[in-house]
Chain A
Amino acid sequence: KQEVTQIPAALSVPEGENLVLNCSFTDSAIYNLQWFRQDPGKGLTSLLLIQSSQREQTSGRLNASLDKSSGRSTLYIAASQPGDSATYLCAVTTGANNLFFGTGTRLTVIP
């Protein structure tokens, strides 16, 4: 059974720092991996989608990498801003479009 783990569970950084969030999954037979952002009391916003055949995706200050064979993904956020404060979730898609979520990393960017 697929299990997705994210570390750290919480992270606090000063504004302007670059940071890395980690995601690992136990079953490498995935179709893709998605990174989401969840603001308090809000829904999920899709940030990046990496297909299983890809190694990374970039969107603005965000860069996500995928190493399927080792079951790892990282989300790199450059020049962090207070508006980046949120919970970041990674999720992997397996057969039948079943999405397995990690428990999230709560990021606080201090002005």
Chain B
Amino acid sequence: DTAVSQTPKYLVTQMGNDKSIKCEQNLGHDTMYWYKQDSKKFLKIMFSYNNKELIINETVPNRFSPKSPDKAHLNLHINSLELGDSAVYFCASSQGNEQFFGPGTRLTVL
């Protein structure tokens, strides 16, 4: 199936741990994104990558770092997890200006 996929779908972890969320797209898109959806369901962009170059970096803590090994992948690494990091994280990709979203990863920090 052509799509944007994320793993894992659910992630439960203790405060202070380091975790990663993986994202892959097989749509051949040039740009990939990470969004955070908070408890109030508000979606906000965190990062985007275009041809392995970071082009947007909103005011997110530097504990969050995107890593793009190639054009089809944009992984999100989070260090020293905090309770406030609990949210749903969505990956997306685009070619042009229509974005396609992954199914989301629900992160719960205990």
- A binding-site residues for B, Cβ under 8 Å: 31-32, 34, 36, 41-46, 49, 87, 89, 91, 93, 96-101, 103-104
| B18-42 residues at the A interface, CB under 8 angstroms | 31, 33, 35, 40-42
Q: Is the CB of B40 within 8 A of A31?
A: no
Kindly state the separation between the CA atoms of A89 and B35 in the bound complex, as whole angstroms: 14
Closest Cβ of chain A to B45, distance in Å, is: 6
Main secondary structure of the interface of B (DSSP, over half): strand
**Size of chain B's interface in residues, with CB distance under 8 A?**
24
CB neighbours (8 Å) of B97 from chain A are: 31-32, 93, 97
Q: Can you name 29 A-B residue pairings with CB atoms under 8 Å?
A: A32-B97, A32-B98, A34-B98, A34-B99, A36-B101, A41-B106, A42-B103, A43-B90, A43-B101, A43-B102, A44-B101, A46-B98, A46-B99, A46-B101, A49-B98, A89-B43, A93-B99, A97-B55, A97-B94, A97-B97, A97-B99, A98-B48, A99-B33, A99-B99, A100-B45, A101-B43, A101-B44, A103-B41, A103-B42
